[in-house]
């Protein structure tokens, strides 16, 4: 078993159209780096300098990692990680 990662539509062009991919257990940032090895270009869309970008939300199971241990949040086999770009803007 691996970690299930849900990819948002804007990033599916980097995962050959796949909505769900598998990643390695570890921490959130390690998982993002593992995805980069398989899907080049994806890490910089999600993170910058080891931090998740401000306008990207990452959830482990159903909780926003900002309310857990942020990039150091552990992820284990069987967990579901969702990457969801924020919805924001302004005048």
Partner 1 sequence: MQDTAGYKIIIPQHIFNDMLAHCKAGYPNEACGILAGRNGEVSKIYRMANIENSPVTYMLDSREQFKVMKDMRDNNLSMLAIFHSHPSSAAYPSAKDVSLAFYEECVYIIVSLMEKEPVVKGFSIREGNIEEITLTVK
Per-position x/- string for 42-61, each x denoting binding to partner 1 as judged by CB under 8 A, each - no binding: -------------x-x-x--
Cα dist from 63 to 2, 36, 58, 67, 83, whole Å: 19, 23, 8, 7, 11
Is residue 42 within 8 Å of 85, Cβ to Cβ? no
- Of 1, 9, 16, 49, which lies in the binding site for partner 1, with binding defined by CB under 8 A? 9
8 Å CB contact between 83 and 15: no
Per rule CB under 8 A, is residue 86 in the interface with partner 1?
A: yes
Interface contacts to partner 1, rule CB under 8 A: 8-10, 12, 17, 19, 55, 57, 59, 62, 64, 66, 82, 84-91
């Amino acid at each position: 078993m691996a970690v299930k990662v849900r990819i948002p539509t804007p990033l599916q062009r980097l995962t050959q159209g796949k909505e769900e991919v598998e990643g390695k257990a570890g921490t959130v940032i390690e998982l993002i780096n593992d995805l980069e090895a398989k899907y080049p270009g994806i890490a910089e869309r999600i993170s910058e300098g080891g931090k998740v970008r401000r306008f990207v939300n990452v959830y482990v199971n159903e909780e926003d990692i900002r309310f857990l241990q942020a990039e150091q949040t552990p992820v284990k086999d069987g967990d579901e990680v969702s990457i969801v770009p924020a919805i924001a803007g302004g005048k």
